[in-house]
Amino acid sequence: MTNDRADRQPSLVPWAAALLLAAAAPAHALVIGVTEGVTYQATDGQIEAKFEPIAEALGKALKQPVTIKVLSSYRNAREALKDNQVDLAFVHPAHVAFEATKSGNFKTLAWTAGFTDYKVSFLCKDLQAISNWKEIAGKSLVMPDADSITSVITRAMLREQGLQEGAVKTTNTRYQDAVPFYVQNGFAAYGATASASVVKAWKSTGGKTCAESRAVPIKQWLASSKLDASTVATARDTLLSLAQSDAGKRALATSTYSGFIAPSAEVEKTLMTWLGI
């Protein structure tokens, strides 16, 4: 007589082995996309090192591995956000973050403390503030990379004052710290920058500022809309609480940021309209 039980037992071994392997396999790694902007100079390695302790804190809280994907250009960032190549993202240029949230692909998790009041200043040699914006039509204005948040804000400022595209002669330079050179040497009547250090250095040599934009929060944390609610909530709570523990403060120290705060959906909606997103 054939032992049916014995005959069937070997066929169960592969299934059992597969189940054991699945149980032992590590959880799917979440990917954090990071872009730190294009008008400052930093290597991918330097950026990744800044965020490794925060990634470790998130991985510990989420109980799964977390990897970092540096998005070294805005094109890379937009593609990664559009195609859901990342699960979480730290995005410096607010307009790129706003594009992702407006599309519905991502939701804002947090803003970066100390970077919620980002304003563009116009450097100039004249003491008086610009009172009649029509008078600057035809004059020259230098600003950073055309796709930087500084330039996006600058164009919003001009539109707000009734100056359409082309009314002011604009020139772009790669880095913000090059803007004062153009104004100082007469290559531009005005220079747009949002770098506090650049503005401080400009004023220390007798330079003036003659216009300032409304405030824009930059450096947003985003979460993919495909993540489950529990994961999103844990990631948000972890980011918002980093500054409240010694371990979190150590992670923040490496990033150079002081912490992260809850965002305002209403403020972001208003700014999207102003920025033309």
Over residues 25-52, the pLDDT tens digits come to: 445 789 999 998 764 567 888 899 999 9
- The confidence score (pLDDT) of residue 125 equals 86
Q: Please, which residues have CB within 8 angstroms of residue 198's CB and are 6 or more apart in sequence?
A: 176, 177, 179, 180
What percent of the chain has pLDDT above 70?
88
| Alpha carbons 258 and 243: distance in angstroms, whole number | 7
Query: Which residues on adjacent β-strands are paired with residue 172?
Result: 143
Q: What is the pLDDT of residues 99-145, one digit of tens each?
A: 999 999 999 999 999 999 999 999 998 777 898 999 899 999 999 98
Distances in Å between the alpha carbon of 94 and those of 63, 131, 136, 181, 185? 29, 28, 27, 26, 31
- The confidence score (pLDDT) of residue 41 equals 63
Does 86 score more than 80 pLDDT?
Answer: yes
Dihedral of the alpha carbons of 231, 234, 237, 241, in degrees to the nearest 10: -130
Report yes or no: 144 and 93 within 8 Å, Cβ to Cβ. Answer: no
Q: What's the predicted TM-score (pTM) here? A: 0.84
Does 230 score more than 90 pLDDT?
Answer: yes
Q: DSSP readout, 43-84?
A: -HHHHHHHHHHHHHHHHHHHTS-EEEEE--SHHHHHHHHHTT
Give the pairing type, strands 140-143 and 169-172: parallel
H-run or E-run covering 36: none
| Alpha carbons 30 and 21: distance in angstroms, whole number | 20
What's the rounded mean pLDDT across residues 222-236? 97
Give the pairing type, strands 169-172 and 106-112: unpaired
For residue 62, the SS3 value is helix
| Alpha carbons 43 and 110: distance in angstroms, whole number | 24
Does 7 score more than 60 pLDDT?
Answer: no
Mean pLDDT, all residues of the chain: 89
- The confidence score (pLDDT) of residue 165 equals 87
